[in-house]
Amino acid sequence: MINSASDKAVKVLANVCLTFLSICALFPFVLLIIASFTENGVAIAEGYSFTPSKLSLAAYEYLIQEWATIGRGYLMTIIVTTIGTAVGLMMTAMFSYALMVSDLPGHNILTVMVLISMLFNGGIVASYFIYSNVMHIKDTIFALIVPGLMMNAFNIILMRNFFKDSVSKEILESARIDGAGELRIFAQMVLPLSVPILATIGLLQAIGYWNDWTNGLYYLTKRGGSAYYTIQLILNQMNEDIQFLASNSAKLGIAVDTSDMPTTTMRMAIAFIAILPVLIAYPFFQKYFVKGISVGAVKG
Amino acid sequence: MVRTQKKKIRWQRFLPVYLLALPGFIYLIINNYMPMFGIIIAFKDLNFAKGMLASDWCGFDNFAYLFRSKDAWVITRNTVCYNIVFIILGVILGITVAIFLNEIRNKIAVRFYQSVVLIPHLMSWVVVSYLAYALLSTDVGFINQSVLKPLGAGPVSWYTEPGYWPVILTIVHLWKSIGFSCVIYYSSVIGISTDYYEAATIDGANKWQQIRSITLPLLKPTVITLTILNLGRIFASDFGLFYQIPRNSGVLYPTTRTLDVYVYNALMNNNDFAMSSAASVYQAVVGFIFIMIANGVIRKLSAENALF
């Protein structure tokens, strides 16, 4: 090959750049993890570093004392993610199926409704007003589940396109002629054939719920809603108020001595605890995550 | 008789379908359509005792307040300028990384690189704000203590110096989004038929020439479509990036405050319904115009990618 030298150069360059990018992507996480295991006094004197002169587990010991609040936060995250994803996914699938029944009276109204919701929204303040003053969801669990995240036009379109491509019209027609009702067709034919898209959209929705903090920011007040704080909201609250954990534990009736709280390293420890499950689970869902992103791109 | 029976069968068939659509229908009404009518708050002098509908109309007063303040210009400029920079750098970096990924033949290596650069995209903005704090904190941040100090440079007070933030926010945005955009471009790079490359190799073209004359031209439609779609969203800003990373610091507002952050603060911290509703409707309406323009342009260029 004449060009092998230049081709090799491209390959080397590609590897070097991608390695550099990977390091850039990872190093803040490594810093965070090492910082969380640093001795608090050392962290204050030397700053967060990759090579602290003294390590310590004090931050984690303190977090275990605060488990009442953190454990609760985890529980809320899991509840919200499970319910939100399950209900939202079902709702999306059912609605998308209705869009596929093209001779349904009112079919066009449903399609146009989805389309308009993509083009125009009332803005943040109008949504806030409707949810808090008309639907009254402030300081309830619905505040974390309902606004914005349950269903969106984008997922409906992805799902409907998948239904159209993977479930053949002929099979549907013959099932109808054989007298199968629409509910049965949906539950026993369309859904089983659509497991890949259900998994993909479900995963994206679950990540959305797991990572959400804006709904809590808008619809949970610190006084009335902190019992519903998810792990993300605890992190957010701690950004404003590092004493939050202790004060919240006190509210739950647990006396905590805050005088020697290792605040500098504890921040990093709780952030690490928050991302740990995601990092552990990531290798297992990584394939679907990549697929979810590229599937969405096809129909941008 | 036959006709009514036929009708009955029709309804027997369609009723379950309506039931299937019902939850989603109700959700769209509550989540999307009721707020559209909620826009009228922007034209009302809101009085909580009277409620939304009974409050007095005030015409465009709220908008007049908003546009008389110099905030309106700053938040619009910030939102639009950041988006333009993000779009340009996102396309360049996304394509570069996607092409590099395509040059690597080892499947396991491709998967590894892809997974790793996607990790930041998987994290919430709150978590990213902790990572940024670990790097940028004035007294304990990694950059001040471990990079600048050994170089003999004094500590920089990142969180009070607005001048640095356009660069910081751009880096953080790219750091978090590069994995996402390279996956999108990569999926269209691998869609290019290998015949082109084989023919080019036979003709003696090297890798650089192949990238320049095959990959890039064939990516053009994808780039144009995605860019126009992004331009359609130029009035929307990523609330998490602009709220969490600067820690909602007032000193930094001149370079960090975008429409979404402004609306949030006016609504939740200042209880200023007039300003926040005006700004939020301003964003929704101008955003709508941009989306319609973008969609019109895409329909001309590549109809299959248009929203309608």
Q: Which residues, at least 6 apart from B119, have a Cβ–Cβ distance to it below 8 Å? A: A25, A26, A29, A279, A282, B179
Q: Nearest residue on chain A to B230, judged by CA atoms?
A: A300
Report helix, strand or coil for B308: coil
Dihedral (Cα; B269, B274, B276, B281), 10-degree rounding = 160
DSSP one-letter string for B83-150? HHHHHHHHHHHHHHHHHHHHH---HHHHHHHHHHHHHHHHS-HHHHHHHHHHHH-TTT-HIIIIIITT
Chain A residues with CB-CB distance to B13 below 8 A: 176, 181-182
CA distance A195 to chain B (A): 18
A137-157: b (≥16 Cβ within 10 Å) or e: bbbbbbbbbbbbbbbbbbbbb
What tokens does A198 get?
Answer: 């259900």
Read off the pLDDT of each residue in A197-225 and give the average, rounded to a whole number.
Answer: 92
Q: List the beta bridge partners of residue B57.
A: B44
Q: Measured between alpha carbons, how far is B36 from B30 in angstroms, rounded to an integer?
A: 10
Report helix, strand or coil for A38: strand
Minimum-distance CB partner of B284 among A120, A268, A297: A120
Q: Cβ–Cβ of B184/A26 closer than 8 Å?
A: no
Q: Cβ–Cβ of A122/B36 closer than 8 Å?
A: yes
Burial of B3 (0-12, 13-18, 19+ CB in 10 A): exposed
Q: Tell me, what's the pLDDT at B28?
A: 96
Phi and psi (nearest 5°) for A151? -150, 140
pTM assigned to the model:
0.92
Is-contact B37 B50, C-beta < 8 A?
Answer: no
Q: Cβ–Cβ of B115/A286 closer than 8 Å?
A: yes
Q: Measured between alpha carbons, how far is B18 from B10 in angstroms, rounded to an integer?
A: 12
Report chain B's terminal Cα–Cα distance, integer Å.
42
Q: Tell me, what's the pLDDT at A300?
A: 39
Q: Tell me, what's the pLDDT at A149?
A: 94
Give the residues of chain B that fall short of pLDDT 70: 1-4, 6
Within its chain, how far is the Cα of A38 from the centroid? Answer: 29
How many CB atoms lie under 10 A from the CB of residue A192? 10
Is-contact A52 A43, C-beta < 8 A?
Answer: yes
Is-contact B122 B272, C-beta < 8 A?
Answer: no
Quick one: which of B38, B264, B123 has its CA closest to A217?
B264
Within its chain, how far is the Cα of A282 from the centroid? Answer: 13
B135 close to A (CB below 8 A): yes
Q: How confident is the model at residue A252 (pLDDT cuts 50, 70, 90)?
A: low
Q: Nearest residue on chain A to B180, judged by CA atoms?
A: A293
Is it the case that residue A110 has pLDDT exceeding 90?
A: yes
Is-contact A157 A184, C-beta < 8 A?
Answer: no
Q: Which residues, at least 6 apart from B206, have a Cβ–Cβ distance to it below 8 Å? A: A2, A3, A6, A7
Is-contact A132 A146, C-beta < 8 A?
Answer: no
Q: Measured between alpha carbons, how far is B77 from A152 in angstroms, rounded to an integer?
A: 29
Report helix, strand or coil for A138: coil
A20-46: b (≥16 Cβ within 10 Å) or e: ebbebbeebbebbbbbbbbbbebbeeb
Q: Tell me, what's the pLDDT at B85?
A: 97
Q: Measured between alpha carbons, how far is B240 from B247 in angstroms, rounded to an integer?
A: 10
Chain B residues with CB-CB distance to A118 below 8 A: 307
**Per-residue pLDDT tens for A18-31?**
999 999 999 999 99
Q: Over the Cα atoms of chain A, what is R_g?
A: 25
Q: Tell me, what's the pLDDT at A299?
A: 47
CA distance B193 to chain A (A): 17
List the single best residue of A53, A96, A111, A125 to mutate versus B (max B Cβ within 10 A). A125
Q: Cβ–Cβ of B24/A134 closer than 8 Å?
A: no
Q: Tell me, what's the pLDDT at B301?
A: 83
Q: Tell me, what's the pLDDT at A240?
A: 79
Chain A residues with CB-CB distance to B206 below 8 A: 2-3, 6-7
Q: Measured between alpha carbons, how far is B89 from B95 in angstroms, rounded to an integer?
A: 10
Give Cα separations from B245 to A13, B84, B135 (angstroms). Answer: 32, 19, 11
Is-contact A282 A275, C-beta < 8 A?
Answer: no
Size of the A and B interface in Cβ pairs below 8 Å: 304
Is-contact A209 A85, C-beta < 8 A?
Answer: yes
Q: How confident is the model at residue A243 (pLDDT cuts 50, 70, 90)?
A: low
What tokens does B172 get?
Answer: 């953080």
Amino acid at residue number A107: H
Quick one: which of B162, B175, B160, B71 has its CA closest to B123?
B175
Is-contact A225 A39, C-beta < 8 A?
Answer: no
Is-contact B190 B135, C-beta < 8 A?
Answer: no
Chain A residues with CB-CB distance to B27 below 8 A: 91, 150-151
**Per-residue pLDDT tens for A54-85?**
999 999 998 888 888 899 999 999 999 999 99
Whole-complex ipTM = 0.91
Q: Measured between alpha carbons, how far is A107 from A112 in angstroms, rounded to an integer?
A: 9
B251 close to A (CB below 8 A): no
In the 8-state DSSP scheme, what is residue A55? B
Q: Nearest residue on chain B to A280, judged by CA atoms?
A: B119
Within its chain, how far is the Cα of A138 from the centroid? Answer: 21
Is-contact A73 B3, C-beta < 8 A?
Answer: no
Give Cα separations from B271 to A122, B14, B267 (angstroms). Answer: 19, 47, 5
Chain B residues with CB-CB distance to A236 below 8 A: 126, 244
- Which domains are seen in chain B, by residue range? 2-57 (no CATH), 80-305 (1.10.3720.10)
The rounded mean pLDDT for chain A is 88
Q: List the beta bridge partners of residue B45.
A: B56
Read off the pLDDT of each residue in A89-93 and give the average, rounded to a whole number.
Answer: 96
A105 close to B (CB below 8 A): yes
Q: Tell me, what's the pLDDT at A255?
A: 61
Is-contact B188 A298, C-beta < 8 A?
Answer: no
